[in-house]
C-alpha cells in the first residue's frame, strides 16, 4: 500500500466536475500531509467494452492509502479494497434516472449502491457538490457517510474592471451533452429577434457556427470571463438535474445574471444567488398577453422557453446575492474539509 492520496478519474477535457474533484483531492492531501498523485484517462468511454476496460484500469490504479474517484469508476476500486485498510472517497455529482443511461450503466449504479450499503462507514465515504445531492444520496440511496464539499472558486479572479454590457449578447453556457432542447429553441427565437447567442468551450475542436448561435473557443480563462461579463445573461437550461453548474456560478461572480432551471444542485445555486429561475409556471401575469403578441395562432413554445424569452425581451433583472456566493470562496476550504479530514484519520 502506497502512503499517498491518489485521485483517479477520466474524461476528454477539463470540466467543472474535474476542477472540483482535483481541488478536493489536492486540498485533502495537503491537510493530511500526504503526497498527492493524479491518474487520469484523457478520453471518453461510452460503449460497454470501453467502459469495462476503463473499470479494469481503475481497479489496477487503486493502490494507495486513500483514493478519491468518481461514481463511474467506483465499483472496481471499492471491490479491490474490500479487505484492506485503505479508504475510498467517491465524488458523486448527480444521479438523474432520466438522463438516458444505458442498461449497462443503470445496472452498474444499482450494483454500486447495493455494495456501498455493506461497506463499513469508516472505509467508504461519498462527497457531493450541493446540499440537494447530499440529501438525495442520504434519503434515496441510504448511503452511510456523505460529505458536502462544494465548488470553491478564487474570487479575486472574478473581480473585473467596469464592464460594458451588450444587451443583445446572450451566453448559452458551455458546450455540453447536457444542454436541453429548450435551450436550442430559445437560441433560435433570440436569433430571430436580433440577439447574438454563443456557447463557450475550452476545446478548440468544438468551435462551430450554426444558423442561430456560435461556439467560441477561449484559450485564456480571463477572455472567457470578460466575454461573459459583457453579456446580458447566461443561460443554464440542462436536460438533467445537474450536480452544480460552474459556468452559472462564474457568471454570477462576474455580475451577469443567470436564467435557469430550478432543479438539482443548479437549483441550490440559483435560489441562493437570487438568480432568475424558470419553469412550467408563468413568471408574470403578463405572460398570456406576451404569448398572444409573440406567437398569435402559431404553436407556442414550452413554458420554460416562453418565460426565458419574456425575461430577455423585457430586460428583467434582480440583484445577485454576493454574500451567498462568498460561501464558496477558496478561503473557506478548511471549513468544508474538517469533517472529511477527521474521517480519514479514524
Q: What is the pLDDT of residues 271-321, one digit of tens each?
A: 999 999 999 899 999 999 999 999 998 889 999 999 999 999 999 999 999
**Mean per-residue pLDDT, 228-236:** 97
Could you identify the residue written with the cell 403578441? 293
User: What SS3 string covers 19-41?
Assistant: HHHHHHHHHHHHHHCCCEEEEEE
Beta bridge partners of 37: 6
- Does residue 12 carry a pLDDT above 90? no
Query: Are residues 219 and 284 both part of a single domain?
Result: yes
Beta bridge partners of 126: 90, 146
- Does residue 97 carry a pLDDT above 90? no
DSSP state of 162: P
Beta bridge partners of 217: 201
Distance CA 72, CA 234 (A): 29
Query: Are residues 306 and 336 both part of a single domain?
Result: no
Q: What is the pLDDT of residues 144-198, one digit of tens each?
A: 999 999 999 999 999 988 779 999 999 999 999 899 999 999 999 999 999 999 9
Could you identify the residue written with the cell 430550478? 262
Q: What is the CATH number of the domain that holds 309?
A: 3.40.50.2000
Residue 31 lies in domain: 2-152+329-344
The model's pTM: 0.94
Nearest to 77 by CA among 30, 19, 40, 124: 124
Query: Are residues 175 and 321 both part of a single domain?
Result: yes
- Does residue 47 carry a pLDDT above 90? no
Distance CA 122, CA 229 (A): 45
| pLDDT given at position 105 | 81
DSSP state of 160: P
Query: Are residues 89 and 193 both part of a single domain?
Result: no
Query: Are residues 191 and 128 both part of a single domain?
Result: no
Compute CA distances 267 → 151, 312, 331, whole Å.
Answer: 14, 20, 24
- Does residue 344 carry a pLDDT above 90? yes
Query: Are residues 106 and 145 both part of a single domain?
Result: yes
Query: Are residues 340 and 308 both part of a single domain?
Result: no
Q: What is the pLDDT of residues 211-223, one digit of tens each?
A: 999 999 999 999 9
Query: Are residues 19 and 82 both part of a single domain?
Result: yes
| pLDDT given at position 254 | 96
**Mean pLDDT, rounded, of the chain:** 94
With cut-offs at 50, 70 and 90, classify the pLDDT of residue 43: confident
Query: Are residues 139 and 222 both part of a single domain?
Result: no
- Does residue 261 carry a pLDDT above 90? yes
Ramachandran assignment for 264, one of left (phi > 0), alpha (psi -120 to 50 degrees), beta (any other): left
Helix H or strand E encompassing 249: helix 246-253
For strands 2-10 and 87-91, give the pairing.
unpaired
Helix H or strand E encompassing 90: strand 87-91
How many structural domains compose the chain?
A: 2
Give the angle 292-295-301 at the CA atoms, nearest 5°. 110
Query: Are residues 207 and 261 both part of a single domain?
Result: yes
| pLDDT given at position 150 | 97
With cut-offs at 50, 70 and 90, classify the pLDDT of residue 50: confident
List for the chain the helix, strand, coil content (%; round to 5). 45, 20, 35
Torsion sign over Cα 22, 12, 107, 73 = negative
Nearest to 153 by CA among 83, 232, 244, 238: 244
Q: In sequence order, what are the residues at sequence separation of 6 or more whose Cβ sits closer than 8 angstroms to the Cβ of residue 40?
A: 7, 8, 9, 10, 11
Structural contact between residues 243 and 93, judged by C-beta atoms closer than 8 angstroms? yes
Could you identify the residue written with the cell 469533517? 339
Could you identify the residue written with the cell 492509502? 65
Q: What is the Cβ-side half-sphere exposure of residue 79, based on CA atoms within 13 angstroms?
A: 13
| pLDDT given at position 100 | 65
Query: Are residues 242 and 224 both part of a single domain?
Result: yes
Query: Are residues 131 and 175 both part of a single domain?
Result: no
Structural contact between residues 185 and 301, judged by C-beta atoms closer than 8 angstroms? yes
Q: In sequence order, what are the residues at sequence separation of 6 or more whose Cβ sits closer than 8 angstroms to the Cβ of residue 205?
A: none
Amino acid at each position: 500500500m502506497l502512503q499517498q492520496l491518489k485521485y483517479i478519474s477520466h474524461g476528454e477535457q477539463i470540466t467543472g466536475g474535474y476542477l472540483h474533484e482535483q481541488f478536493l483531492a489536492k486540498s485533502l492531501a495537503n491537510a493530511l500531509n500526504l503526497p498527492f498523485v493524479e491518474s487520469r484517462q484523457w478520453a471518453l468511454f461510452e460503449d460497454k467494452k470501453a467502459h469495462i476496460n476503463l473499470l479494469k484500469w481503475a481497479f489496477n490504479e487503486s493502490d494507495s492509502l486513500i483514493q478519491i474517484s468518481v461514481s463511474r469508476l467506483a465499483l472496481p476500486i471499492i471491490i479491490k479494497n474490500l479487505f484492506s485498510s485503505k479508504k475510498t472517497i467517491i465524488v458523486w455529482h448527480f444521479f438523474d434516472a432520466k438522463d438516458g443511461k444505458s442498461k449497462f450503466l443503470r445496472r452498474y449504479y444499482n450494483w454500486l449502491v447495493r455494495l456501498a450499503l455493506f461497506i463499513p462507514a469508516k472505509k467508504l465515504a461519498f462527497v457531493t457538490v450541493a446540499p440537494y445531492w447530499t440529501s438525495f444520496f442520504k434519503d434515496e440511496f441510504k448511503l452511510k457517510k456523505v460529505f458536502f464539499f462544494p465548488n470553491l472558486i478564487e474570487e479575486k479572479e472574478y473581480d473585473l474592471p467596469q464592464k460594458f454590457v451588450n444587451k443583445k449578447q446572450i451566453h448559452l453556457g458551455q458546450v455540453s451533452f447536457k444542454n436541453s432542447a429548450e435551450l436550442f429553441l430559445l437560441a433560435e427565437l433570440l436569433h430571430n429577434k436580433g440577439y447574438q447567442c454563443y456557447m463557450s468551450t475550452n476545446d478548440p475542436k468544438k468551435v462551430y457556427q450554426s444558423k442561430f448561435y456560435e461556439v467560441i473557443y477561449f484559450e485564456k480563462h480571463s477572455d472567457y470571463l470578460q466575454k461573459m461579463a459583457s453579456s446580458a445573461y447566461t443561460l443554464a437550461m440542462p436536460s438533467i438535474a445537474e450536480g452544480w453548474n460552474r459556468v452559472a456560478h462564474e457568471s454570477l461572480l462576474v455580475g451577469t445574471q443567470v436564467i435557469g432551471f430550478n432543479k438539482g444542485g443548479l437549483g441550490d445555486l440559483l435560489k441562493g444567488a437570487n438568480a432568475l429561475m424558470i419553469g412550467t409556471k408563468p413568471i408574470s401575469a403578463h405572460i398570456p398577453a406576451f404569448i398572444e403578441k409573440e406567437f398569435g395562432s402559431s404553436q407556442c413554445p414550452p413554458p420554460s422557453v416562453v418565460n426565458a424569452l419574456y425575461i430577455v425581451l423585457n430586460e428583467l433583472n434582480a440583484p445577485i446575492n454576493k454574500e451567498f456566493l462568498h460561501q464558496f470562496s477558496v478561503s473557506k476550504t478548511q471549513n468544508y474539509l474538517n469533517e472529511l479530514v477527521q474521517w480519514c484519520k479514524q
